[in-house]
Amino acid sequence: MAELVLASTSQSRRALLKRLGLPFRCVVPVVREEDWKIGNWGPKELAEQLAVAKAESLRKVEPAGTLIGGDQVVVLDGRIYGKPGTIERAVEQLGMLSGRSHELITALAVWHDGQTYVHTDRTVLHMRPLLQDELERYVLADKPLDCAGSYKIEERGITLFDRIETQDFTAITGLPLIALTSLLRRLGYTVP
C-alpha cells in the first residue's frame, strides 16, 4: 500500500491519525492559508479548498503516497472565524461565540493515485455564556491561538460548552476519523 502522508503540522491531527494504528509521516504542506481568505468562498468551500490544497501541495514531492489534508472554519452569523493568532484575538473570538451556537466545518481531502476525495463534516456547538475573566483564564490555560474558534475541545475547551451536535466527534479536533477510515478501507488499507 502507498505510504500515508499527513499534510499538516497540527499536533491534534497527528494524534488523531495515530489512533488508527497505521504507519504515516507528517510533511508540512506548501500552502499559504492567508492567500485563500481573500476569495469569495463560502465557509464549506473555503474549508474544502484549503484541505484539497494542503493534500495536493505534496503531489510532486510524494507522488507515490496517499496524501491527507484537512482544514476547519468556524461560522457564526455567516462570518468565518479562523485561527486567532494572538491572545487578544482569541479572547475576542470567544467573546463573540459566548452564549451562542456556532457551526464548525471540518474538511478532509485525500489524494491517492491521481484522484482527490473530499469529505466535509458539520458540527453545531452551543457555547455557554462566559464572563470576561473566564475567557481570559481559558485562553491563558489552553493557548488556542492556532485553533479555529479559539478553543481546544480536547483540552479545557470542553468546559466552555453546554451541548455539541455532531456525527463524528473526532472532526471537532481536526480529522473526521469515521470518514477517513471508511475511505482508507475503500482504497485497500487494512483498518481494524
Is 29:8 a contact under the CB 8 Å cutoff?
yes
**Contacts of range 163-170, beta carbons closer than 8 Å, 24 or more positions apart:** 163/125, 163/126, 164/123, 164/124, 164/125, 164/126, 165/123, 165/124, 165/125, 165/126, 166/121, 166/123, 166/124, 167/121, 168/121, 170/16
Nearest to 103 by CA among 121, 89, 118: 121
Which one from 35, 71, 113, 121 is the annotated catalytic residue? 71
Is 168:93 a contact under the CB 8 Å cutoff?
no
Half-sphere exposure of 177 (CA within 13 A, CB side): 17
Decide if 71 is catalytic.
yes
Exposure letters 15-47 (e unless 16+ CB within 10 A, then b): ebbeebebebebbebebeeeebeeeebebeebb
Q: Provide the annotated active-site residues.
A: 71
